[in-house]
Amino acid sequence: MRKEPPDDQVALNAAMGLALEQARAAAERGETPVGAVILDPITGEIVAVAGNGPIGAHDPTAHAEIVAMRAAAEKFGNYRLTDLTLVVTLEPCAMCAGAISHARIGRVVYGADDPKGGAVAHGPKFFEQPTCHWRPAVTAGLMAQESADLLRGFFRARRKPKGDAA
């Protein structure tokens, strides 16, 4: 008996919920709260999960997307992640968009827009460039408010003056 693929929206919502958990965990470590999940849309299997980690890893490339792609590539023994879906709480930056393209990710689903550092809908619009050799399908705005609120709260708390009880 063939297993039916999971309902796309249910699987994406569950994956984004997991990505948000990873983002919260990153915030607790003092990292920018971004989380990522790699999902196999055919089976519904969660392939990899990660939260941001550049500070703790002493690695400027340890963005949640990159860490998740590294884990997925290791799991499959292949740097090509064709047909997989990357679910991430924040619009990917130029570095992550480049890695997504090189990995041949099939679809990117992200939560909050990033007008300053994003590279998918903002900035260089990486996947729209004629030199981009692989373009994933992109879905923006999944649980965008929750993702944006998490980021805003994190940075608001960091800007609050010491000793301010409010």
- 19-38 confidence digits (pLDDT tens): 999 999 999 999 999 999 99
pTM for the predicted model, two decimal places: 0.92
| Pure H helices in the chain | 8-28, 54-57, 64-76, 94-103, 144-159
Q: Concatenate the DSSP letters of all residues of 93-128 into one string.
A: -HHHHHHHHHHTBSEEEEEE--TTT-SSSSTT-GGG
Amino acid code (one letter) for 66 = I
Q: Given a cut of 80, is residue 15 above it in pLDDT? A: yes
pLDDT digits (tens, 9 = 90+) for 116-138: 999 999 999 999 999 999 999 99
User: Which residue carries 């409010």 as its tokens?
Assistant: 166
Rounded mean pLDDT of the chain? 94
Active site amino acids: 65
Mean pLDDT of 41-46: 93
Q: Given a cut of 70, is residue 1 above it in pLDDT? A: no
Mean pLDDT of 76-89: 97
